[in-house]
Amino acid sequence: MALPSYATRGERIWHYIFLGLCGLVFLFLIGPLLIIIPLSFNTEPYFTFTKAMLQLDPEGYSLRWYQDFFTSSEWLNSIKNSFIVGIAATFLATVLGTIAALGLSSRHMPARGAVMALLISPMIVPLIISAAAMFFFFSKIHLAQTYLGVILAHTALGIPFVVITVTATLSSFDTTLIRAAHSLGANPTRTFFKVVLPLVTPGVVSGALFAFITSFDEVVVVLFIAGPEQRTMPIQMWSGIREQISPTILAVATMLVLLSMLLLTTLELLRRRSERLRGMTPG
Amino acid sequence: MSESPTAPLKTADGVSLKTSLRRAVRRSKLKALLLVSPLLAFLLIAFLMPLFDMLWRSVDNPEVSTALPQTSQALADWDGASLPDEPVFAALAADLEAGAEARNLGLVSSRLNYEKSGMRSAIMGTARRVDTLEAPYKTALIDINDDWGELATWRVIKRESSPYTLSYYLAAVDRQYSPDGEIVAVPDYMQVYVTLFWRTFWMSAVIMVMTLVLGYPVAFLLANLPLRHSNLLMILVLLPFWTSLLVRTTTWIAILQSQGVLNDMMVALGIIADEARWQMIHNKLGTIVAMTHILLPFMILPLYSVMKTIPPSYMHAARSLGGKPFLCFRRVYFPLTIPGIAAGGILVFILSIGYYITPALVGGQSGRFITNYIAYHMQTSLNWGLAAAIASILLFVVVVCYLVFNRLIGVDKVKLG
């Protein structure tokens, strides 16, 4: 967005003010996430920078809270639970969602708008309402306070993300490629594995990642329907923030920020791969 | 070509082309439905049935009619003008005796206590001494507890002996039945929910406006930069979007609390005195700042995808026709971005009114949302009927917003990242 050479002085000033404002908004977006990283290396049990930290004194920094995290059986157990629930829910959501997306992107799907609206609804209904509703219903059918209950609930919450991403991928899928493969002598199985699957996989994988992060980050539903056995990491954080606020939370938060960076990179690579395969120029 | 041109076209096996096409379409319709059906069945069980169950629970009223069956029946013909006669009292004594034996009077006594305070002790106290009761029951019961001699007591029992009730909904909008069965507002000091609903709505509106004001310039910048730069800056938007909600809330606690980073910084710079640290969290300000930060990407992404489709030549044309920059923006560019504003705005609003975690952690007493009361009645007061009624009202508002959103934009246009 370079300024044209004929811009007046007023336009130039306005342009730089505009860029400055955008810079401030970016700072607002990213600053809080960056502040938490140095804070997690604090020696003292405070949520703020100590004098020693500001003077860059090595004494002011320590791995104390990380050690706390990795030696606490409660935290480690909660991580294990998060992965059990997250992986199972992602698997279910991805399988069900992908199959449904295949149907939804058919040209002859009846009542597509209504069905789509229904499939997306778990994303729209506020979590607290889903949580309350699932609590009532799951207690009735003895699914409350079980792993299966939490997994089914998270599957429902992850489904919209899978459906949205996979339908988007399929809608831009060029069906003439299938005919081209046939005309070049490939049988349907070979066409599916060599042509369709490589083009669709990036969409499915990013849908699965969305579903996983939804489950991995979800507090409210677990808070209501899980028992003490199924405490996941977000619940552990939640009670940590509410009850005894210790910088161990900041250490966990830092690791989660790194995890989201990793996920973001993976998604970006998937997107580029998918564009390259379609013959579009990578952005 | 001997066939006349009007004869129906046929496929190789002699079926008319029309029939054959219809058959093929029906087959592919069926196939599409079959593919979608497992997911529909799953959502029906794991998501829709719970929602219906909750709606049902908000009007369901089984306590009185199951625990006091004979009384309910005896009261069916009572006109409510004067105290009921001996048979009704006898029925109550019989019900209480059965209930005391089966020990199932807990639910009905707390249910009736929501409607009229003192009912719990009336029922439980009478049940404890039910063995000593002798006919005539009317005087015997009134001797044990004066409440049985009040007309209002019997009206409440009669009203709540119906298997459905609206009293949870009335309670959720700060209304109640008066002793004569009229719908009246609850006393001032007990009014909570209407205020909270309004607060939830106006704070969500403020958050929506904040995200629009902050998000619009950023989306504009991203849409007009060369792709190489904008992809890099997009990471700054997507990283918070992908980071755990709890992490983002925690960072705001670390920044805003009175011993937090921002206050420390201002004290160090001499802007404020050490004793006069600002209270920026556990109030409305905390909720608004943290939620604006959390929901900002949901505004930027739809705005960006709309702005990306506006060709820059429109603005160039407007400028070359002599428009001043601001006029061109207001008359040409801005109207084209309205679909993005609508999409982002409704999305942020819907998400915001349903937020629970962030207001609960940084909202304190004054920055709480109605969702916090749903959780309170679910977990602490255990008044599940009231929790279901509040949740149903909120669900109704969300569904209306969602339908508007769907009508205006279409859910299938939602893009993620």
Q: Do B414 and A120 touch (CB under 8 A)?
A: yes
Who has greater pLDDT, B227 or B370? B370
The pLDDT value recorded for residue B416 is 52
Domain presence at residue A18: yes
- Supply the pLDDT for residue B6: 66
Flag whether A251 is in a domain. no
Closest CA to B255 of A106, A73, A38, A234: A38
Query: What CATH number is given to the structural domain containing A100?
Result: 1.10.3720.10
Do A146 and A214 belong to one domain?
Answer: yes
**Which residues in chain A have their CB less than 8 angstroms from residue B249's CB?**
241
Separation in Å, CA B392 to CA A222, B52, B53, B115, B397: 20, 10, 11, 20, 9
**Does residue A28 sit in the same domain as residue A121?**
no
A116·B227 Cβ contact <8 A: no
Q: Using DSSP, state whether B338 is helix, strand or coil.
A: helix
A200 and A107 housed in the same domain: yes
Nearest CA distance, B235 vs chain A (angstrom): 8
Mean pLDDT for B191-195 is 89
Angle at A158 between CA A153 and CA A162, to 5 degrees: 150
Which residues numbered 273-312 in B keep a CB inside 8 Å of some CB on A?
293, 296-297
Task: Indicate the domain borders of chain B.
Answer: 16-57, 63-165, 193-413
* Total tally of structural domains belonging to chain A: 2
For residue A128, give the nearest of B231, B354, B412 by CB distance. Answer: B354
Same domain assignment for residues A92 and A123: yes
ipTM for the whole complex: 0.85
pLDDT for the residue B1: 46
Q: How far is CA A44 from CA A70, A236, B256, B267, in A?
A: 18, 21, 19, 20
Asked whether residue A39 is domain-assigned, the answer is yes
Task: Write out the H or E segment, with its range, that includes residue B275.
Answer: none
A35 occurs within a structural domain: yes
Amino acid at B409: I
Same structural domain, A42 and A80:
no
- Any idea what DSSP says for residue B79? -
Q: Tell me if A265 is assigned to some domain.
A: no
Is the backbone of residue B252 left (phi > 0), alpha (psi -120 to 50) or beta?
Answer: alpha
- pLDDT 10s digits, B39-67: 999 999 999 999 999 999 999 988 888 88
What range does the domain containing A45 cover?
Answer: 9-60
Q: Is the Cβ of B51 closer than 8 Å to some Cβ of chain A?
A: yes
pLDDT reading at A263 higher than 80: yes
A174 Rama sector, left if φ>0, alpha if ψ -120 to 50, beta otherwise? beta
B83 vs B10, more confident: B83
Kindly state the average pLDDT of the residues B344-355: 91
The model's pLDDT over B311-335, given as tens digits with 9 standing for 90+, comes to: 888 888 888 888 888 888 888 899 8
Q: How far apart are the first and last CA of chain B?
A: 59
Structural element, H or E, at residue B185: strand B183-185
Is the distance from CB of A153 to CB of B46 less than 8 angstroms? yes
Q: Quick one: A152 and A37 in the same domain?
A: no
- For chain B, count helices (H), then strands (E): 21, 2
* Disruptive mutation site among A11, A29, A221 for chain B (greatest number of B CBs within 10 Å): A29
pLDDT at position B292 is 95
Q: Which chain A residue shows the shortest CA-CA distance from B291?
A: A29
Inter-residue contact B263 to B304 (CB < 8 Å): no
Under a CB-based contact definition with an 8 Å cutoff, are residues A187 and A200 in contact? no
Same-domain status, A31 and A143: no
A237 Cα to chain B: minimum distance (Å): 7
pLDDT digits (tens, 9 = 90+) for B61-99: 888 888 888 888 888 888 878 888 888 888 888 888 888
d(CA B410, CA B412): 5
How close does chain A come to B318, measured CA to CA in Å?
A: 15
Structure confidence by residue, pLDDT tens digits, B265-324: 888 888 888 777 888 888 889 899 999 999 999 999 889 988 988 888 888 888 888 888
| B353 contacts B366 by C-beta, under 8 angstroms | no
Cβ contact B47:A118 at 8 Å: no
B175 by DSSP, 3-state: which?
A: strand
In the structure encoding, which two tokens stand for residue B299, read together? Answer: 């505004």
Structural tokens at position B97: 């005796």
Q: Which fold has domain B193-413?
A: MetI-like fold (1.10.3720)
Calpha distance A94→A159 (Å, rounded): 7
